[in-house]
Copies of this chain bind each other. A is one copy, B any other.
Amino acid sequence: MESRRATLRLMSTLDFWFEFASSYSYPAAMRIDALAAGAGVTVRWRPFLLAPVFKAQQGWEDSPFNMYPAKGRYMWRDLERICAAQGLPFVKPTVFPQNTLVAARVALVALKQGWGEDFCRGIFSAEFGHGRDIGETFAVADVINALGRNPDEVIDESRLQENKDALRAETEQALRLDIFGSPSFITGDGELFWGNDRLEAALAWAQR
């Protein structure tokens, strides 16, 4: 019985769906691995593009934090408080939301090669910890370089049709899963949790 329970525990997974442009996905990305390890849950990092989801689900052409200024002012202040509580650097980027196509395509390549989680954290840190515009390909290259990889090779590979198609397929899958924002967490039995503030609840559900 004990060993069966231990096996089930090892098998519980949580899909972490995120978009690099999403502000609240930054603190989620920076804390998910430590929390999941403590809970005995395996995390699958699933980058996708939020813009097509926003458009299809909500008819939005921009971030709701730009469309609704009071909500936007609140979000930046709230994020600042959350980062302070989490001990994370925070610099409000001058560009928001950012063009994350290059970063998301590279993330798929990096995840396939086993260094994707570090890359994703590097992108989020550059964007929200240092205020950089990761829509610039050279900013993405800096993150790749800091991880000891060859930016030209990696970015070339990320531009292969197969990889572009893979990102499109992930975004379509997010829509099929009824995802409407980032970060979203989906447990092995299909339970959806939305928002950095639901990470603990998602991990607890995954553990059941």
Looking at chain A's contact residues, is the secondary structure mostly helix, strand, loop, or mixed? helix
Would you give the 0/1 interface string for A34-77, flagging 1 where the beta carbon is closer than 8 Å to chain B? 00000000000000000000000110000000011011011001
How many chain A residues sit at the interface, stated as a range, is 20 to 34
Known A-B contacts A71-B180, A178-B70; A77 and B192 likewise in contact (beta carbons under 8 Å): yes
What CA separation (Å) do A81 and B78 show in the bound complex?
A: 24
Query: Would A74 and B180 count as touching, CB distance under 8 A?
Result: yes
B residues in contact with A73, CB < 8 Å: 178
Would you give the 0/1 interface string for A172-199, flagging 1 where the beta carbon is closer than 8 Å to chain B? 0000001111000000000011110110
What CA separation (Å) do A169 and B195 show in the bound complex?
A: 33
Shortest distance between the CB of A85 and any CB in chain B (Å): 8
**A201 part of interface (Cβ distance < 8 Å):** yes
What CA separation (Å) do A179 and B198 show in the bound complex?
A: 22
Known A-B contacts A78-B194, A192-B74; A68 and B201 likewise in contact (beta carbons under 8 Å): no
B residues in contact with A71, CB < 8 Å: 57-58, 180-181
